[in-house]
Amino acid sequence: MEKILYLPTHEYIRIEGTKGYIGISEYAAKQLGNIVYIDMPEPDDEVSAGEEFGAIESVKAASDLYSPVSGTVVAVNEALVDEPGLVGKDPMAQWIIEVEMDNLDELDGLLTPEAYAELCAHETH
């Protein structure tokens, strides 16, 4: 079953078995505007839940990217190296890293789509 969960810092993780695809939410993409660079880890790098794994740069500023889970980077989205702006166009399809998760229990601490939507609604007001 496919399942999507969020961090309050606007990263999502799409879960397929023990694999997770991590990217930024539609809301975050809209807030960032034109994306010009994504600083991504390398395959085989370790990521930790709640810790920074890279950064996404809009014209204006760099924003850290936080990992919703702990695990090992299996792949990065190579298309974003030459065309980081793709994330802004379709953030849910254009994941940034694919991770093999260490501990599925970590998912319990993440926001459901409903809880995340509520958080965004509060941020805009």
Partner 1 sequence: MENLKKTPLHGRHLQAGAKMSPFGGFDMPIEYKGIVEEHEAVRNHVGVFDVSHMGEVFVEGPEATRFVNYIFTNDVTDLAPGRILYGMMLKPDGGTIDDLLVYRMAPERYLLVINASNIDKDVAWIMTHAQAFDVRAVNCSDEWAELAVQGPEAEATLLKVLGIDATGLPFYGFKESAGMIVSRTGYTGEDGFEIYATPERIDGFWQKLLDAGVQPCGLGCRDTLRFEAGLPLYGDELDENITPVEAGLGIFVKLDKPDFIGRDAVAAQKAAGVDKKIIGLEIEGPAIARHGYEVLDSEGNQVGTVTTGYRSITLGRNLAMALVDASHAALGAPLQVKVRKKTFPAHVIKKRFYTPNYKK
Binding to partner 1 by residue 36, rule CB under 8 A? yes
Q: Name the residue nearer to partner 1 (CB basis): 41 or 71.
A: 41
Q: What stretches of the chain adopt beta strand conformation (E)?
A: 3-6, 11-16, 19-24, 35-39, 46-47, 52-58, 62-66, 71-76, 97-101
Q: Indicate the residue type of 17.
A: G
CA dihedral 71, 77, 83, 89 (to 10 degrees): -80
- With contacts defined by CB under 8 A, how many residues of the chain interact with partner 1? 14
Q: Which of 39, 45, 100, 102 binds partner 1 (CB under 8 A)?
A: 39
Binding to partner 1 by residue 61, rule CB under 8 A? yes
Q: Between residue 90 and residue 119, which ones bind partner 1 under the rule CB under 8 A?
A: none
Output the CA angle 59-30-114, nearest 5 degrees: 145
Q: Name the residue nearer to partner 1 (CB basis): 58 or 72.
A: 58
Q: Which of 3, 17, 51, 59 binds partner 1 (CB under 8 A)?
A: 59
Residues in touch with partner 1 (CB under 8 A) = 31, 33-34, 36-37, 39, 52, 55, 57-62
